[in-house]
Amino acid sequence: MAQTTTICFANNKGGSGKSTTCANVGYAMSTLGKKVLLIDSDMQMNLTLSYFDDEKSLEMAQSGKNIYTGIVEQRDLSEYIVQTEYEGLDLIPSSTLMSSIEFQLFSKWQREFILRQGLKKIKESGKYDYILIDSPPTLGCWVMNIMCASDYLIIPVEASPWGLFGLANMFEFYEQVKLISPSIEILGIAVTKASERKNYFKQTIETLSSLDNVRLLESIIRIDSTVEWSQDNSKPVMAYKKTSRAAQEYMEMAKEIMKYADR
């Protein structure tokens, strides 16, 4: 039976490419024959919208078949899995109600471990090779839940002037998580939305390469308008335009992640 590796994408800096990277790396892994479960945990529902149109996404949000209900009711989350149109790629959708998740968690016993508990049966079943979790741009009890349920953390960083802002908070938060969930490791930093013509691209790479004990992934995701077109069509970029540069870059990143994530 396959062992399931859980990887979360988190960065408190908004717009750093978490949802886009999670959606596309997940798809790339599935085309490599892996069974992948994506979990959308953000009230913005961007990961859900990457695979389902607005109407279907809102329907799932309103029907209660989503992560919010599963967490608030502390259920086995396998009840909330939906299939995407792609082989080997499933999703637990989110809901706009996730805006109140911090409040909901507050009164719960062992509140940092509700997600880990909810995923227990799914992991034990060995049905998935990878579970990929997209996080909201916050650092609270919910993101702590996400990290406590994960084997690895990937930090997407936008190669922009403000891209590195807040990264120190992220590392401090990770150290706090490690105290209660010691097995989590940072798999690496993923540079996203890069434009090599711009000066700060070089600066970002230099700064990130100089960090101690944190791997900078070699594969880099460049800005490519095909990504936005694919999102507008609720498709991963490889399914939208396989020959695009972005499609190739997400595939390379998926392969690199799989190389490091196989425990």
Strand order in the sheet with 82-83: 82-83, 89-92, 36-40, 130-134, 5-9, 152-158, 185-192
DSSP string covering 175-225? HHHHHH-TT-EEEEEEEESB-TTSHHHHHHHHHHHT-TT-PBPS--PBP-H
Closest CA to 19 of 238, 242, 210, 231: 231
Pick the stretch among 94-102, 141-149, 199-207, 227-235 that binds ligand ATP (CB under 6 A). 227-235
**Integer Cα distance of 53 and 73 in angstroms:** 26
Min dist CB 42 to Mg ion, Å, is: 5
Q: Check residue 84 for interaction with Mg ion (CB under 5 A).
A: no
Instruction: Mark the segment that binds Mg ion (CB under 5 A) among 43-51, 60-68, 215-223, 226-234.
Output: 43-51
Return the one option of ligand ATP, Mg ion, none that residue 160 interacts with (CB less than 5 to 8 A, by type): none
Give yes or no for residue 12 binding Mg ion (CB under 5 A).
Answer: no
228 touches ligand ATP (CB under 6 A): yes
Stretch of residues binding ligand ATP (CB under 6 A), selected from 83-91, 95-103, 209-217, 224-232? 224-232
Coil vs helix vs strand at 238: helix
Site map (CB under 6 A) of ligand ATP, residues 99-138, x = contact: --------------------------------------x-
Which one, 61 or 246, has the nearer CB to ligand ATP?
Answer: 246
Cβ neighbour number for residue 112 with a 10 Å cutoff:
19
Residue with tokens 């034990």: 124
- Within 5-24, which residues bind ligand ATP (CB under 6 A)? 14-20
Name residue 176's beta-bridge partners.
Answer: none
Residues that bind ligand ATP (CB under 6 A): 14-20, 42, 44, 46, 137, 192-193, 221, 223-224, 227-228, 231, 246
